[in-house]
Amino acid sequence: LDAIREALEPIAKDVDDRFEADASHQGHREEHLAALVLRGALLQHAKRDDAAALALLRTALLVYDDSDALSDPWARPFAEYELGMIHLRARRYDLALKHLRAARDAPNGYSFDKSLNFRAHEAYDALKKHLKTLGRGVDDDDDDDDLKNVEQRVRAELAATESQIRDAEANEKVNES
């Protein structure tokens, strides 16, 4: 993992630098988005630093939402899936369901959509079964009130992790020195 991380860091730094220099350039935005999702996914799979993974993946969603038509909208569903898996591991089941549902229900047409859709369906269904054994039902209908509550919690988490993002980036720069 460390070797992969060391290989990705210079690429991610280069991408981040180009994006900061010209955030309006759509190509740089897509590269930046890819670097955020890949770094977040790597940390999520390594199960090493969930706070940094959450910060990277949430930032990816913000960059995605701030982007105009991307050449391939793969980043949002993949980031949603990885966020869902982090929340699942942390037993934050409501947030896990929200993110896995978003990944599962993403429109088709992005790269590797079938593969991700299958994984998201499997994780979502397994979590529903687990919650049923715990005596908790899962409403598959996206009730507007529930979505608003989840959105408010997610926005609150995003606000709380802004400092974590800055800290993670500062730590990366210190480690590079």
What predicted TM-score, i.e. pTM, was given to this entire model?
A: 0.65
126-164 per-position pLDDT tens digit: 888 888 888 877 666 544 445 555 555 555 666 666 666
**pLDDT interval class at 70 (50, 70, 90):** confident
Angle at 37 between CA 36 and CA 38, to 5 degrees: 95
Taking residues 39-67, report their average pLDDT. 86
Angle at 102 between CA 143 and CA 99, to 5 degrees: 95
Q: Tell me how far CA of residue 46 lies from CA of 86, 88, 89, 134, in angstroms.
A: 11, 15, 12, 28
Alpha-carbon span 128 to 86, nearest angstrom: 16
